[in-house]
Amino acid sequence: MRIDDAIAWAKSQLKASTSSDVDAKVLLCHALDKPTSFLFTWPEFELNDTQRSVFTDCVKQRAKGKPIAYITGIRDFWTLTLKTSPATLIPRPDTEVLVEQALACASGFQNEAIDICDLGTGTGAIALALASELPKSNVLGVDFIADAVELATHNATLNKINNASFKQSDWFSSVEAGKFNLIVSNPPYVETNSPYLQQGDVRFEPDSALTSGEDGLEDIRHIIHLAPSFLCDAGALLFEHGFEQGQAVRNLLVQRGFSAVKTVQDYSGLDRVTLGYWKN
C-alpha cells in the first residue's frame, strides 16, 4: 500500500466524518512516525507490514468514533505536546482562552514569582502552559483522579517544566491553606442529562471530567464558595465554563464578594471564561 492509496482507503472508511481527510493524514503520520510534509513529498512511499497494520487498526478505531487524541495518545496545547489518556479530558483549543486571561491577570502582579493553583488539572494542560510562560511562578495542579495526576506529572517531565507540581486532591481538600495569586479551573460543567454527552469525542471521555449536577454548576459553586480562603489579596479566580453559563457564573462570583467580575468569549465568540478578583 502506497501513501496516496492509504489516504484514499482511509477516507473511504471515514466518509461519515467531516474531518476524514485531516484524520486520515494525522493517523498516517502517526503510523509512519513522520511529519505531514513526508506525505506530500513521498506519495509513492510503500508502507511496510508493521506500518500498514498500525495504520489500518487506527483507522478502524477512528471509524468507531474514538477521538484522534486517544488513538495517537497525544494532543498539542498552547506551545506544548501533551500525552493524553482516557482518565481525563482531551485538552481543547478554547481552553487556551483561559490561559490567555490568566496570563493577563498575572501581569498585574509586579513580582513574577507568583503562586498559581489549577483545580482539575487533567493532563496538566493549563498548569503547564502557565508554568512555561511564567518560569518564576510556582504552579500546583490538583485532580481527584490518581491517573490524571500521574499523567500531568509525566507531561511536566516530557516538556521539561520544573516549576509545576501535581497532587491528588478533591478540589481544595488536600491543598495546604496557602495564598494563591491565581486560581484557575476548567472543571466539569456539563449538565448530567445533556444530549451533548452522546456526541463526538465526549462519548469516549470520562464522566468524572464532564458532568457536574443537573445544571452543570455544582463544582463551580463549590470552588467559588471555598476559593477566598486560598486567595491572596487581589488574587484572581478564573473558570472555563459552558457557553450558556456566563451569567450564572458571574452571579455566583458577585454574590460571594468577588469584584471586577467579567466574562470573556472564546474563538467562536461564545461566553467561555469568567473571572473575578478577591479583596481580603
Ligand X SMILES: C[S@@+](CC[C@H](N)C(=O)[O-])C[C@H]1O[C@@H](n2cnc3c(N)ncnc32)[C@H](O)[C@@H]1O
CA 79 to mean position of chain CA atoms: 13
Q: Which stretch binds ligand X (CB under 6 A): 54-62, 68-76, 141-149, 159-167?
A: 141-149
Nearest to 14 by CA among 3, 28, 33, 29: 28
- What is the closest distance, in whole angstroms, from the C-beta atom of residue 245 to ligand X in the complex? 13
109 vs 171 by CB, closer to ligand X: 171
The answer to whether 132 and 164 are in contact (CB under 8 A) is no
d(CA 273, CA 101): 8
The single residue among 51, 95, 101, 163 that binds ligand X, judged by CB under 6 A, is 95
213 vs 228 by CB, closer to ligand X: 213
207 binds ligand X (CB under 6 A): no
d(CA 214, CA 257): 25
Sequence-ordered list of residues with C-beta below 8 angstroms from that of 262, at least 6 positions apart, any chain: 250, 274, 275, 276
- What is the closest distance, in whole angstroms, from the C-beta atom of residue 136 to ligand X in the complex? 22
Helix (H) or strand (E) holding 237: strand 231-240
The single residue among 85, 101, 121, 155 that binds ligand X, judged by CB under 6 A, is 121
Q: Which stretch binds ligand X (CB under 6 A): 114-122, 192-200, 260-268, 271-279?
A: 114-122
88 binds ligand X (CB under 6 A): yes
Burial class from Cβ neighbours inside 10 Å (0-12, 13-18, 19+) for residue 91 reads buried
209 binds ligand X (CB under 6 A): yes
Binding residues for ligand X, rule CB under 6 A, total 22
Nearest to 223 by CA among 194, 180, 265: 180
Nearest to 58 by CA among 19, 17, 25, 91: 25
The single residue among 4, 21, 46, 170 that binds ligand X, judged by CB under 6 A, is 170
161 binds ligand X (CB under 6 A): no
67 binds ligand X (CB under 6 A): no
Q: Where are the beta strands (DSSP E) in 31-186?
A: 74-77, 80-83, 115-119, 138-143, 164-168, 180-185
246 binds ligand X (CB under 6 A): no
The single residue among 165, 208, 263, 265 that binds ligand X, judged by CB under 6 A, is 208
The single residue among 115, 143, 191, 266 that binds ligand X, judged by CB under 6 A, is 143
Q: Where are the beta strands (DSSP E) in 159-224?
A: 164-168, 180-185
91 binds ligand X (CB under 6 A): yes
- What is the closest distance, in whole angstroms, from the C-beta atom of residue 51 to ligand X in the complex? 31
> Where do contacts with ligand X occur on this chain (CB under 6 A)?
88-89, 91, 95, 120-123, 125-126, 142-145, 148, 170-171, 186-188, 208-209
